[in-house]
A and B are shown apart, each in its own frame.
Chain A
Amino acid sequence: MRFAVVQFGGSNCDRDTRHVLSDVCGVDTDLVWYKNGLSRSYDAVVLPGGFSYGDYLRAGAIAARTQVMKEILRHAKSGGLVLGICNGAQIGSEAGLVDGTFTLNAYPKFISRHVHLRVENADSPFTALYREGEVIRVPIAHKEGRYVAPEETLGRLNREGRVAFRFCDEYGNTTPESNPNGSAENIAGILSERGNVLAMMPHPERASEPVLGSADGIKIFKSMITYIEEHGHRRMTHQEFLP
Protein backbone atom coordinates (compact mmCIF):
# COMPACT_ATOMS: atom_id res chain seq x y z
CA MET A 1 0.00 0.00 0.00
CA ARG A 2 1.35 3.40 -0.90
CA PHE A 3 0.07 6.93 -0.31
CA ALA A 4 1.08 10.13 -2.12
CA VAL A 5 1.09 13.55 -0.47
CA VAL A 6 1.19 16.13 -3.27
CA GLN A 7 3.23 19.26 -2.66
CA PHE A 8 2.52 22.57 -4.38
CA GLY A 9 4.45 25.78 -3.91
CA GLY A 10 2.95 27.03 -0.63
CA SER A 11 1.87 23.65 0.78
CA ASN A 12 2.80 23.64 4.45
CA CYS A 13 1.06 20.64 5.96
CA ASP A 14 2.69 18.17 3.58
CA ARG A 15 5.34 16.92 5.99
CA ASP A 16 2.94 16.79 8.95
CA THR A 17 0.60 14.65 6.87
CA ARG A 18 3.40 12.37 5.74
CA HIS A 19 4.58 12.06 9.35
CA VAL A 20 1.13 10.90 10.45
CA LEU A 21 0.81 8.47 7.56
CA SER A 22 4.28 6.95 7.66
CA ASP A 23 5.45 7.34 11.27
CA VAL A 24 2.13 7.05 13.12
CA CYS A 25 0.14 4.81 10.75
CA GLY A 26 3.08 2.92 9.23
CA VAL A 27 2.14 3.40 5.56
CA ASP A 28 4.69 3.94 2.78
CA THR A 29 4.13 7.55 1.78
CA ASP A 30 5.79 9.59 -0.94
CA LEU A 31 5.98 13.36 -1.02
CA VAL A 32 5.24 14.18 -4.66
CA TRP A 33 6.27 17.57 -6.07
CA TYR A 34 3.41 18.62 -8.34
CA LYS A 35 5.68 19.20 -11.35
CA ASN A 36 6.89 15.61 -11.19
CA GLY A 37 3.36 14.24 -11.39
CA LEU A 38 2.18 10.87 -10.13
CA SER A 39 5.05 8.93 -11.65
CA ARG A 40 3.66 5.67 -10.27
CA SER A 41 0.25 4.48 -9.12
CA TYR A 42 -0.93 5.09 -5.59
CA ASP A 43 -3.67 3.63 -3.44
CA ALA A 44 -4.53 7.05 -2.08
CA VAL A 45 -3.61 10.65 -2.80
CA VAL A 46 -3.65 13.37 -0.14
CA LEU A 47 -3.83 17.06 -1.03
CA PRO A 48 -2.41 18.72 2.09
CA GLY A 49 -3.15 22.06 3.69
CA GLY A 50 -1.24 25.26 3.04
CA PHE A 51 -1.44 28.21 0.71
CA SER A 52 -0.81 26.98 -2.81
CA TYR A 53 0.14 29.89 -5.06
CA GLY A 54 -0.35 32.23 -2.11
CA ASP A 55 -4.12 31.75 -2.34
CA TYR A 56 -3.96 34.26 -5.23
CA LEU A 57 -7.19 34.67 -7.19
CA ARG A 58 -9.05 32.21 -4.92
CA ALA A 59 -7.74 29.62 -2.49
CA GLY A 60 -6.90 26.49 -4.47
CA ALA A 61 -7.92 27.90 -7.85
CA ILE A 62 -4.50 27.94 -9.50
CA ALA A 63 -3.26 24.61 -8.10
CA ALA A 64 -6.52 23.01 -9.28
CA ARG A 65 -5.57 23.75 -12.87
CA THR A 66 -2.10 22.18 -12.84
CA GLN A 67 -1.21 19.08 -14.84
CA VAL A 68 -0.92 16.86 -11.76
CA MET A 69 -4.59 17.49 -10.97
CA LYS A 70 -5.56 15.85 -14.28
CA GLU A 71 -3.73 12.76 -13.09
CA ILE A 72 -5.46 12.98 -9.71
CA LEU A 73 -8.85 13.30 -11.44
CA ARG A 74 -8.05 10.12 -13.38
CA HIS A 75 -6.97 8.41 -10.14
CA ALA A 76 -10.30 9.43 -8.57
CA LYS A 77 -12.26 8.31 -11.64
CA SER A 78 -10.70 4.88 -11.34
CA GLY A 79 -12.00 4.66 -7.76
CA GLY A 80 -8.78 5.68 -6.00
CA LEU A 81 -9.11 7.53 -2.71
CA VAL A 82 -8.39 11.26 -2.56
CA LEU A 83 -8.34 13.22 0.71
CA GLY A 84 -8.21 17.02 0.47
CA ILE A 85 -7.41 18.79 3.73
CA CYS A 86 -7.98 22.57 4.08
CA ASN A 87 -6.15 24.08 1.07
CA GLY A 88 -6.36 20.56 -0.38
CA ALA A 89 -10.16 20.70 0.04
CA GLN A 90 -10.21 24.04 -1.76
CA ILE A 91 -8.06 22.60 -4.56
CA GLY A 92 -10.34 19.56 -4.78
CA SER A 93 -13.51 21.63 -5.04
CA GLU A 94 -11.92 23.99 -7.58
CA ALA A 95 -10.90 20.94 -9.63
CA GLY A 96 -14.44 19.58 -9.56
CA LEU A 97 -13.63 16.52 -7.44
CA VAL A 98 -16.47 17.49 -5.09
CA ASP A 99 -19.53 19.72 -5.42
CA GLY A 100 -19.76 23.28 -4.14
CA THR A 101 -16.91 25.54 -3.12
CA PHE A 102 -15.09 26.95 -0.10
CA THR A 103 -14.99 30.73 0.02
CA LEU A 104 -14.24 33.66 2.35
CA ASN A 105 -15.40 33.15 5.95
CA ALA A 106 -18.61 34.97 6.89
CA TYR A 107 -16.49 37.00 9.30
CA PRO A 108 -13.66 37.66 6.85
CA LYS A 109 -10.74 36.79 9.11
CA PHE A 110 -8.32 33.91 9.51
CA ILE A 111 -9.51 31.51 12.23
CA SER A 112 -7.20 29.04 13.97
CA ARG A 113 -8.66 26.99 16.80
CA HIS A 114 -10.10 23.63 17.78
CA VAL A 115 -13.69 22.93 16.82
CA HIS A 116 -16.09 20.06 17.30
CA LEU A 117 -17.30 18.03 14.35
CA ARG A 118 -20.22 15.62 14.19
CA VAL A 119 -19.64 12.55 12.05
CA GLU A 120 -22.61 12.52 9.67
CA ASN A 121 -21.69 9.50 7.58
CA ALA A 122 -19.76 6.64 9.17
CA ASP A 123 -20.07 4.54 6.05
CA SER A 124 -17.41 6.10 3.84
CA PRO A 125 -13.81 4.96 3.21
CA PHE A 126 -12.71 7.95 5.32
CA THR A 127 -15.07 7.66 8.29
CA ALA A 128 -15.79 3.95 8.73
CA LEU A 129 -13.93 3.73 12.05
CA TYR A 130 -16.14 6.42 13.61
CA ARG A 131 -19.69 6.00 14.89
CA GLU A 132 -22.43 7.98 13.18
CA GLY A 133 -23.17 11.02 15.31
CA GLU A 134 -19.81 10.80 17.11
CA VAL A 135 -18.42 14.19 18.14
CA ILE A 136 -14.72 14.70 17.51
CA ARG A 137 -12.34 17.58 18.25
CA VAL A 138 -10.07 18.74 15.44
CA PRO A 139 -8.45 22.12 14.66
CA ILE A 140 -9.30 24.49 11.82
CA ALA A 141 -6.99 27.15 10.36
CA HIS A 142 -8.38 29.02 7.39
CA LYS A 143 -9.73 32.27 6.01
CA GLU A 144 -11.60 30.78 3.06
CA GLY A 145 -13.43 27.81 4.51
CA ARG A 146 -17.10 28.76 4.27
CA TYR A 147 -18.79 26.00 2.30
CA VAL A 148 -21.20 27.27 -0.34
CA ALA A 149 -23.35 25.29 -2.76
CA PRO A 150 -26.66 25.87 -4.57
CA GLU A 151 -29.80 24.76 -2.68
CA GLU A 152 -30.40 21.81 -5.02
CA THR A 153 -26.81 20.61 -4.49
CA LEU A 154 -27.22 20.81 -0.70
CA GLY A 155 -30.42 18.79 -0.99
CA ARG A 156 -28.67 16.14 -3.06
CA LEU A 157 -25.69 15.99 -0.66
CA ASN A 158 -28.07 15.41 2.23
CA ARG A 159 -30.15 12.81 0.40
CA GLU A 160 -27.09 10.89 -0.75
CA GLY A 161 -25.32 10.98 2.63
CA ARG A 162 -22.43 12.96 1.21
CA VAL A 163 -22.01 15.32 4.15
CA ALA A 164 -19.15 13.70 6.08
CA PHE A 165 -18.81 16.22 8.93
CA ARG A 166 -20.69 19.20 10.31
CA PHE A 167 -19.41 21.81 12.75
CA CYS A 168 -21.21 21.34 16.09
CA ASP A 169 -20.93 22.11 19.77
CA GLU A 170 -19.39 19.64 22.24
CA TYR A 171 -22.74 17.88 22.59
CA GLY A 172 -23.18 17.42 18.83
CA ASN A 173 -25.70 20.23 18.26
CA THR A 174 -25.21 22.01 14.93
CA THR A 175 -25.99 25.52 16.14
CA PRO A 176 -25.12 28.82 14.41
CA GLU A 177 -22.70 29.51 17.32
CA SER A 178 -20.80 26.30 16.61
CA ASN A 179 -20.40 27.21 12.93
CA PRO A 180 -17.04 29.03 12.87
CA ASN A 181 -17.09 30.30 9.29
CA GLY A 182 -20.74 30.52 8.23
CA SER A 183 -20.71 27.33 6.14
CA ALA A 184 -24.01 26.29 4.61
CA GLU A 185 -25.74 23.86 7.00
CA ASN A 186 -22.58 23.80 9.18
CA ILE A 187 -20.87 21.62 6.56
CA ALA A 188 -17.17 20.97 7.30
CA GLY A 189 -16.45 18.06 4.98
CA ILE A 190 -18.11 16.55 1.92
CA LEU A 191 -17.79 13.38 -0.11
CA SER A 192 -17.80 12.97 -3.86
CA GLU A 193 -20.64 11.23 -5.65
CA ARG A 194 -18.89 7.84 -5.46
CA GLY A 195 -17.67 8.48 -1.92
CA ASN A 196 -13.99 8.02 -2.79
CA VAL A 197 -13.06 11.71 -2.39
CA LEU A 198 -13.32 13.61 0.90
CA ALA A 199 -12.75 17.38 1.02
CA MET A 200 -12.64 18.80 4.53
CA MET A 201 -11.53 22.13 5.98
CA PRO A 202 -10.48 20.89 9.47
CA HIS A 203 -7.00 19.38 9.89
CA PRO A 204 -7.11 15.73 11.01
CA GLU A 205 -3.31 15.45 10.76
CA ARG A 206 -3.04 18.08 13.51
CA ALA A 207 -5.18 15.88 15.75
CA SER A 208 -3.59 12.48 15.22
CA GLU A 209 -1.42 12.06 18.31
CA PRO A 210 -2.28 12.60 22.00
CA VAL A 211 0.68 14.98 22.36
CA LEU A 212 -1.18 17.38 20.03
CA GLY A 213 -4.12 17.65 22.42
CA SER A 214 -6.42 15.43 20.38
CA ALA A 215 -5.99 12.19 18.46
CA ASP A 216 -9.55 12.24 17.11
CA GLY A 217 -8.41 12.82 13.53
CA ILE A 218 -6.30 9.70 13.11
CA LYS A 219 -9.33 7.53 12.38
CA ILE A 220 -9.70 9.28 9.03
CA PHE A 221 -6.28 7.99 7.91
CA LYS A 222 -6.83 4.60 9.56
CA SER A 223 -10.24 4.30 7.91
CA MET A 224 -8.59 4.87 4.52
CA ILE A 225 -5.94 2.25 5.27
CA THR A 226 -8.55 -0.28 6.45
CA TYR A 227 -10.66 0.41 3.36
CA ILE A 228 -7.72 -0.21 1.02
CA GLU A 229 -6.76 -3.38 2.94
CA GLU A 230 -10.31 -4.69 2.66
CA HIS A 231 -11.25 -3.55 -0.83
CA GLY A 232 -7.89 -3.16 -2.49
CA HIS A 233 -7.57 -0.64 -5.24
CA ARG A 234 -7.20 -1.33 -8.91
CA ARG A 235 -3.80 0.17 -9.48
CA MET A 236 -3.69 2.11 -12.70
CA THR A 237 -1.04 1.24 -15.21
CA HIS A 238 1.43 3.92 -16.13
CA GLN A 239 -0.15 4.01 -19.59
CA GLU A 240 -3.47 5.12 -18.10
CA PHE A 241 -1.79 8.11 -16.52
CA LEU A 242 -0.53 9.41 -19.82
CA PRO A 243 -2.62 12.27 -21.19
Chain B
Amino acid sequence: MKYTVAITIALKKGMLDPEARAIRHALQNLGFPTEDLSTARLFKIALDAADADAAREVAGQICERLLANPVIHRYTIEVE
Protein backbone atom coordinates (compact mmCIF):
# COMPACT_ATOMS: atom_id res chain seq x y z
CA MET B 1 0.00 0.00 0.00
CA LYS B 2 1.12 3.56 -0.67
CA TYR B 3 1.11 5.88 2.31
CA THR B 4 2.17 9.44 2.82
CA VAL B 5 3.69 10.19 6.20
CA ALA B 6 3.75 13.75 7.45
CA ILE B 7 6.65 14.24 9.87
CA THR B 8 6.90 17.42 11.91
CA ILE B 9 10.27 18.15 13.50
CA ALA B 10 10.26 20.81 16.20
CA LEU B 11 12.62 21.97 18.91
CA LYS B 12 12.15 20.48 22.34
CA LYS B 13 10.30 22.64 24.84
CA GLY B 14 12.55 25.28 26.36
CA MET B 15 15.13 25.18 23.55
CA LEU B 16 16.17 28.58 22.24
CA ASP B 17 14.61 29.15 18.78
CA PRO B 18 16.44 32.17 17.29
CA GLU B 19 14.46 32.10 14.06
CA ALA B 20 11.15 32.15 15.92
CA ARG B 21 12.36 35.05 18.05
CA ALA B 22 13.33 37.08 14.98
CA ILE B 23 10.01 36.34 13.27
CA ARG B 24 8.04 37.24 16.40
CA HIS B 25 9.86 40.58 16.64
CA ALA B 26 9.05 41.27 12.99
CA LEU B 27 5.37 40.49 13.57
CA GLN B 28 5.32 42.75 16.62
CA ASN B 29 6.92 45.51 14.56
CA LEU B 30 4.10 45.08 12.03
CA GLY B 31 1.62 45.66 14.83
CA PHE B 32 0.45 42.09 15.42
CA PRO B 33 0.02 41.36 19.13
CA THR B 34 2.21 38.24 19.01
CA GLU B 35 2.57 36.60 22.43
CA ASP B 36 4.47 33.51 21.41
CA LEU B 37 5.71 31.86 18.25
CA SER B 38 7.49 28.63 17.44
CA THR B 39 8.74 27.10 14.22
CA ALA B 40 8.80 23.54 12.93
CA ARG B 41 9.69 21.71 9.73
CA LEU B 42 7.27 19.51 7.85
CA PHE B 43 8.44 16.57 5.75
CA LYS B 44 5.98 14.68 3.58
CA ILE B 45 7.30 11.32 2.49
CA ALA B 46 5.52 8.87 0.19
CA LEU B 47 6.39 5.28 0.98
CA ASP B 48 5.25 1.73 0.45
CA ALA B 49 4.23 -0.19 3.56
CA ALA B 50 2.04 -3.18 4.51
CA ASP B 51 -0.32 -1.03 6.60
CA ALA B 52 -0.55 2.32 8.36
CA ASP B 53 1.24 1.02 11.47
CA ALA B 54 4.14 -0.23 9.37
CA ALA B 55 4.31 3.16 7.62
CA ARG B 56 4.39 4.87 11.04
CA GLU B 57 7.17 2.51 12.15
CA VAL B 58 9.28 3.36 9.10
CA ALA B 59 8.66 7.07 9.64
CA GLY B 60 9.87 6.69 13.23
CA GLN B 61 13.08 5.09 12.00
CA ILE B 62 13.53 7.92 9.49
CA CYS B 63 13.25 10.45 12.32
CA GLU B 64 15.66 8.55 14.56
CA ARG B 65 18.22 7.92 11.82
CA LEU B 66 18.34 11.33 10.15
CA LEU B 67 15.56 13.90 10.41
CA ALA B 68 15.68 14.59 14.16
CA ASN B 69 18.65 15.27 16.41
CA PRO B 70 17.64 13.79 19.78
CA VAL B 71 19.63 16.43 21.67
CA ILE B 72 17.37 19.26 20.50
CA HIS B 73 14.38 17.89 18.58
CA ARG B 74 11.02 16.21 19.13
CA TYR B 75 8.85 14.91 16.34
CA THR B 76 5.29 13.89 15.48
CA ILE B 77 4.17 11.53 12.74
CA GLU B 78 0.84 11.47 10.91
CA VAL B 79 -0.01 8.81 8.35
CA GLU B 80 -2.23 9.98 5.54
Contact = CB atoms under 8 A, between A and B. Distances in A.
A17 interface: no
A94 B18 contact: no
B80 interface: no
A104 B18 contact: yes
B71 interface: yes
B78 interface: no
Interface stretch (B26-34, B52-60, B62-70): B62-70
Interface string A103-119: 11111100000000000
A9 B16 CA distance: 30
Contact of B71 (A105, A149, A182): A149
B72 A101 contact: yes
Which of under 10, 10 to 19, 20 to 34, or 35 or more describes the interface residues of B?
10 to 19
B71 A108 contact: no
B40 interface: no
Nearest to B69: A101
Q: Is the interface of A mostly helix, strand, loop or mixed?
A: loop
Contacts of B66: 57, 61-62, 65
A108 B15 CA distance: 14
A150 interface: yes
Interface string B16-55: 1011001000000000000000000000000000000000
Interface residues of A, number: 19
Contacts of B22: 108
B72 A148 contact: yes
Given A104-B18, A148-B15, A182-B16, A57 B67 contact: yes
A94 B19 CA distance: 21
B71 A106 contact: no
Nearest to A60: B69
A58 B69 contact: yes
Contact of B69 (A61, A62, A106, A108): A61
A107 B67 CA distance: 23
18 contacts: A58-B69, A61-B66, A62-B66, A65-B65, A65-B66, A94-B69, A100-B71, A101-B72, A103-B69, A104-B18, A106-B18, A107-B18, A108-B19, A148-B15, A148-B72, A149-B71, A150-B71, A182-B18
9 closest A-B pairs by beta carbon, nearest first, are A108-B18, A101-B71, A104-B18, A101-B69, A108-B19, A106-B18, A148-B72, A103-B72, A101-B72
Interface of A: 57-58, 61-62, 65, 94, 100-101, 103-108, 146, 148-150, 182
Given A58-B69, A65-B66, A103-B69, 12 more contacts: A57-B66, A57-B67, A61-B69, A94-B69, A100-B71, A104-B19, A106-B18, A108-B18, A108-B19, A108-B22, A146-B16, A149-B71
